[in-house]
Amino acid sequence: MIIIVPNIKKLMTTDDRKFAERFSLFVKQTFKYYLVGASGVGIDLGILYFLTEFVGIWYLLSRCIAIGVALTSNFILHRFWTYRKESEGGKTLEKYAKYAIVCLIGTVIQLGLTYGLVESFAVYYIHAAIFSIAIAASFSYYVNRKWTFGIKF
């Protein structure tokens, strides 16, 4: 095996190496994206629970506030950590606007699913929120990667 690996590397073309580097970057960025997303989920659910249970705000209004705080936190982390190299050269406000648009669509998805699950199926609002976050996150990842941050691969 030790002898084979260096020989395989010698056989790789420049295009193969570029693809391998891009794929490695893709994996790293995907991991970072979902790690940031997990921190956003913690912020989101923490604020949702606090505002609903302790402050007494209606769960959907609490959900909107929680989503807004998590959205901003996630954008900052993506801008300066996940997609640091892709974000060089400014245009932070433009990217934030695009990110916000995508997240607002994701918010509609989350609110609709949360409301539907709670009101139609008597699902506990935290469980409904977790499920709706997972659905919206998949949509947001793809669109933000392509449109907001302009990544082709």
**pLDDT tens digit sequence for 87-145:** 666 688 898 899 999 988 998 998 999 999 999 999 999 999 999 988 998 899 889 98
Structural domain harbouring 86: 28-148
Q: 75 with 26: CB under 8 angstroms?
A: no
Tokens linked to 47: 């604020």
Single pTM value for the model: 0.70
- The encoded tokens of residue 103 equal 């997240």
Tell me whether residue 93 is in a domain. Answer: yes
Tokens of 78: 């993506």
Q: Is residue 84 one of the residues assigned to a domain?
A: yes
> 65 pLDDT band (50/70/90 cuts)?
very high
Residue 98 domain flag: yes
Report how far residue 145's alpha carbon sits from residue 148's, in angstroms, rounded to the nearest whole number.
6
Residue with tokens 């659910």: 45
Instruction: Kindly give the residue spans of alpha helices, DSSP state H, lying in the chain.
Output: 4-11, 14-49, 59-77, 92-121, 125-143
| Residue 17 counted as domain residue | no
The reply to whether 134 falls in a domain is yes
Q: How far apart are CA 131 and CA 114, in angstroms?
A: 8
Q: Does residue 8 sit within a domain?
A: no
Domain count, the chain: 1
133 vs 40, more confident = 40
129, part of any domain: yes
Q: Would you say residue 11 lies in a domain?
A: no
Can you tell me the distance from the alpha carbon of 81 to that of 34, in angstroms, rounded to the nearest whole number? 12
